[in-house]
Amino acid sequence: MKKRYPRTLSSGANNTVIALSDAEAGKLFAGDTRSDIGSEAEKMRFANGINGLVVRFQRLDILNEDTEMLVMERLYPMDFRAYEFEKRELWLDIFEDELTALHRAGFVHRDLRRPSDMPGERFDNIFLTPTGFRLIDVGISALHSKVGERLFKRFVEQEMAELALFKTFVLSR
């Protein structure tokens, strides 16, 4: 069983996210998490330099002797079903524009839609916030400069297919 931390917000396949304050959350990297805190921080900073779609990186820190932490802004997701169809359409248009800007700059999220064998909701990594849709968890994201043209293009095509599914999901509810 996975270790339970005080103030846990969520737990994924490799990491747990905890509340640090009303404004900050920490993604924990304890022991061998099979993910790289430095790579994740680099991708988050890169995306943050393009637009505000990806959760804001704050800093790298240490929780305790065996746990490192990526500190980011704390988001408070809202339920899109509480808002009119027209507002959802507008938020989706903005989301697509911001995602496309990230792609043009060389960043692809790669995890809009969870694989069918992963626990959680289909679109767990997309939050509706007071400022619109936002992305969390850049663990498997990719930078064009690191993966090359062909692989990056494949990732973008897959992400755009996932975006189409997300739009259908949001607008049909």
Give the C-alpha separation, 93 to 35, whole Å: 32
What are the boundaries of each domain within the chain?
A: 8-73, 80-171
**Please, what CATH class does the domain formed by 80-171 belong to?**
mainly alpha
Is the C-alpha dihedral spanning 90, 91, 96, 97 positive or negative? positive
Q: Do domains 8-73 and 80-171 have the same CATH topology?
A: no
DSSP-based helix, strand, coil % in the chain, nearest 5: 35, 25, 40
Mean local confidence (pLDDT), 81-103: 97
Write the DSSP symbol of residue 54: B
User: Would the pLDDT of 1 be above 60?
Assistant: no
Q: Are 90 and 137 in contact (CB under 8 A)?
A: no
Mean local confidence (pLDDT), 50-75: 96
Say which CATH architecture domain 8-73 belongs to.
2-Layer Sandwich (3.30)
- H/E stretch holding 98 reads helix 85-105
Mean local confidence (pLDDT), 108-137: 87
Phi/psi for 130 (5° steps) reads: -60, -20
Give the C-alpha separation, 161 to 153, whole Å: 13
Classified as helix, coil or strand, 85 is helix
- Least confident residue range of 13-17, 97-101, 125-129, 165-169: 13-17
Write the DSSP symbol of residue 55: P
